[in-house]
Amino acid sequence: MTAATPQTTIGFAELSDLLAAIFQGHGTSAEVARCLAHNCASAQRDGADSHGVFRIPGYLSSLASGWVDGRAEPLVEDLAPAFVGVDARGGFAQPALAAARPLLEAKARSAGIALLAIRNSHHFAALWPDVEPFAEQDLVALSFVNSMACVVPHGGHSALFGTNPIAFAAPRANGQPLVFDLATSAIANGDVQIAAREGHQLPEGYGVDRQGQPTRDPKAVLEGGALLPFGGYKGSALSMMVELLAAALTGGHFSFEFDWSAHPGAQTPWTGQLLILIDPSLGAGRNFAERCERLIARMHDAGQTRQPGDRRYRRRAEAELHGIPLPAGELDKLRRLAQGRSGPASA
């Protein structure tokens, strides 16, 4: 997208309905369509372009390939006083989380902490929308999800880990929740795809080509190359942790463990997700939200005036006032898809 690209705007509810119509028209149930549409529209509204409508072609391609079950009904399992499991049954992770949420919250309120282990799931979206709603209910939330093998472990020579993001959300006394969502790779895979599409180079130290040589070319990373972990061995260790929590603990696949070669067009990784909820009111931090404010105030005093999530909240407020900006041509394509006419969803 360039500054000269004609822009238009659309409201959040209208975009959510539009995306839900697209998903349902391409084989998902109404409930799955609603969950995916809300997630995509939220990312687009908040300025996370690599996880917004940019993802629609990947979703539709995976659905068309038969790789993911868009009508799967998740099975929620009450495993222990503070442990919930969900078999997503080859479907998407967001509907699995939605199905388990009432039981998970109840356990967290009762025990002070609760764990949700999702397996046999496809997660292809931003991770922060999974945790932010819990912080709005005065809970602390932490989530981990692995993906397809596209990251070389530190000191290695071939892709083994996924981008393996970690998301965290905490309530504040005087503001919106403190939320971060970060990949343990040097850059999210979706941002590499956008750079390739728009002809941008990557910063140094972000990826290697198919020979394992450093490259700034996003196409070389995507076409047989791989990403690098952020921070060298530190990011690599965190990525390893995510593999163990999101796959080994949940019963999901490791990032290297599934084979989608029989499903041309598949793009959604079939892995697992772990989510941990904590009720801070039951511990020594009964005034947790106020303590959070105190820390943020000191961070401001130390010079960090922008906190995690601030940019998203600012973009959200702008979108609520003026609508969500989209290239006019891209919105036209989305509307054609919702009407059942063929064509890519992204320019």
Catalytic positions, written as ranges: 50-51, 191
Taking alpha carbons only, the member of 129, 163, 168, 180 closest to residue 269 is 163
Measured CA to CA, the distance from residue 202 to residue 109 in angstroms comes to 44
Beta strand pairing call for 270-278 and 83-92: unpaired
